[in-house]
Structure 1
């Protein structure tokens, strides 16, 4: 299976702040094909587009603040992402009023449906990136399931496998439950004993089965590495080792 690997730039955020273009070049030199940006639009869209085009990277997503897809900022968000060449507008977290109850989660799901329709008119795709809290039950219901069972199929389930496992979720079951919705996923090493201070291949993520399901029924286009720990390696070294392990597993037919 010819999976394509990208890097969530939050992994190297400090390097990126210190040297924007130099860090992008370093990421490309490591062998990553694409990058996913995160946070505010700190650089003009034209600068970002010029840099990634010159370096030879694809923008496969942008972790976009919830405020940026509200009516007062949506037009600017659409214009920015169109200029950069990004299609995937991924919401990486939500404010408390959107998540404090099952009723709130259902209302948030409907807001996503409305926003997704507006983005679709510009060939942009809305998605949601999980952490651990979405898997903690509220009055016997799992917010993650409430959300994705009430959103349209076009809304991407950007499943972060490490975050989900840390919340007690079965990541393979989620891919099966929501087929075709995992168009981009995050690969984040997670260990039940060490938390996020671990490496791909040494962790507890059932990566071969997870990636097989992503390829067969998830509709996955990009496997995005997100490495958060600084306990074992410096950020660029950590993401280098992650990609090397993935490519080794790929070459051996493990994934």
Structure 2
């Protein structure tokens, strides 16, 4: 990865910026999350750009004389720390483009040039691992299925249901209704279900939780069961009583933030799933907006496109407002919004560019959660679209 870095000399400090904008101006319109405070860096701004694993937020300001390295935070499927080594170079130019031994170098670097740039750069950057920068192509996003929509079949014969979904071509399944109990589903433990998944070639692409699964008394068991399943996406299925007022939403946000911090070392992400009631307006904003404005960037926004539309929400606007926060998304057709529609074309475009999406999860099934005709037809449509 290459980048041109902007050193702007000030009387008391040196600022290092990627995009070339002054720090005060760069703060406006750029994603910002200070993940570097533990290293003693005074981070003042961050630049977010899309790549195959979601946006990267780059802290880009360090005090004068900061010698070697700092971290950048990646929040899409997880939060990680990357080491970046900065090596100075004597060949610099000032803000007017003239070379000077002591003045700062100002290399205006556009978003496109930053992503496309290769190894050469004005100030060398050495990463301890390769940083994927390209957007997620359609085929890079796996397709899973929410088991609730075949709950009748699953309750009668879980092994055969998983085999059928695997034969249809789904790559993963999402479980539902977990409340922090020792078993994950009825008599099935996490180990039992993992064996069934492995036998059918399916992955666990998520679990829908009751809110009590994230309570302090149940949280560790929830983590252990999801580790057993090989699952990294823990989404609260619904919390209607917590989405009706600003104060209640603040309580829910605090719980999600706390749980996310505890799940982080286990490489698991905590999130919240959309229902129609989440798009009621409070003081001119969707309850959904209020919630995700108060949660950490690592808290997942599991958009449910059909549910959002049913609540008169705007899925596209929400995906744009909160980039990089949708590692899994529920897709279902709604009225005239078929998978082939221009509407879904834009949804898919966002998922494959800026939303950090790794799983499309189909939530379409037959009456009372029986039968596989609808799941089969839905997957055929997605494959026809190149998904």
How far the C-alpha of 1:4 sits from its partner, in A, is 1.7
Partner of 1:210, secondary structure, is helix
Q: Residue 135 of structure 1 contacts residue 144 of structure 1 at CA under 8 Å; is this kept in 2?
A: yes
Contact 2:240 2:278 in 1 (8 A): no
Match of 1:185 among 329, 333, 352: 329
Q: Please report the RMSD computed on the Cα atoms of aligned residues, expressed in angstroms.
A: 1.9
Of 290, 308, 325, the match for 1:164: 308
Say if 2:243 and 2:249, in contact at 8 Å, map to a contact too: yes
In structure 2, the partner of 1:29 is: 167
Tell me what 1:69 maps to.
214
Q: Pick the structure with greater CA Rg.
A: 2
CA distance in 1, matches of 2:267, 2:294: 22
Task: Check conservation: 1:34, 1:57, Cα contact below 8 A.
Answer: yes
Q: Distance between the aligned counterparts of 1:131 and 1:228, measured in 2? A: 17
In structure 2, how many angstroms separate the alpha carbons of the residues matched to 1:166 and 1:132?
6
* Offset from partner CA, 1:32-86 (integer Å, 9 cap, x none): 0111111132211110011101110011100111111101111111111111111
Answer 1 or 2: which has greater helix percent. 1
The offset of 1:138, in angstroms, is 2.4
Q: Is the 8 A contact 1:183 1:221 kept in 2?
A: yes
Which residues of 2 match residues 95-244 of structure 1 at below 5 A? 95-96=240-241, 98-191=242-335, 200-201=339-340, 206-228=343-365, 230=367, 235-244=371-380
Distance 2:152 2:226 in 1: 23
Shift of 1:139: 3.6
Segment of structure 1 superposing worse, 166-175 or 43-52: 166-175
Which of 246, 249, 252 is residue 382 of structure 2 equivalent to? 246
How far apart are the structure 1 equivalents of 2:371 and 2:288? 30
Query: What TM-score, normalized by structure 2, do the two folds share?
Result: 0.60
Shift of the 234–241 alpha-carbon distance from structure 1 to 2, 3 Å rule, reads farther
Q: Tell me if structure 2 keeps the 8 A contact 1:161–1:205.
A: no
Structure 1 partner of 2:147: 9
CA contact (8 A) 2:338 2:344 kept: no
Q: CA deviation at 1:199?
A: 6.3
- Deviation at residue 89 of structure 1 after TM alignment: 0.6
Q: Please, which runs of 5 or more residues in structure 1 have no aligned partner?
A: 193-197
Paired positions, count: 242
Does the aligned pair in 2 maintain the 1:6–1:35 contact within 8 Å?
A: yes
Tell whether the 8 Å contact from 1:62 to 1:86 is kept in structure 2 after alignment.
yes
Q: Deviations over 1:186-213 (max 9, x none)?
A: 0011116xxxxx9644xx7811110111
Distance across 1 between alignment mates of 2:246 and 2:170: 39
Report SS of the residue matched to 2:174: strand
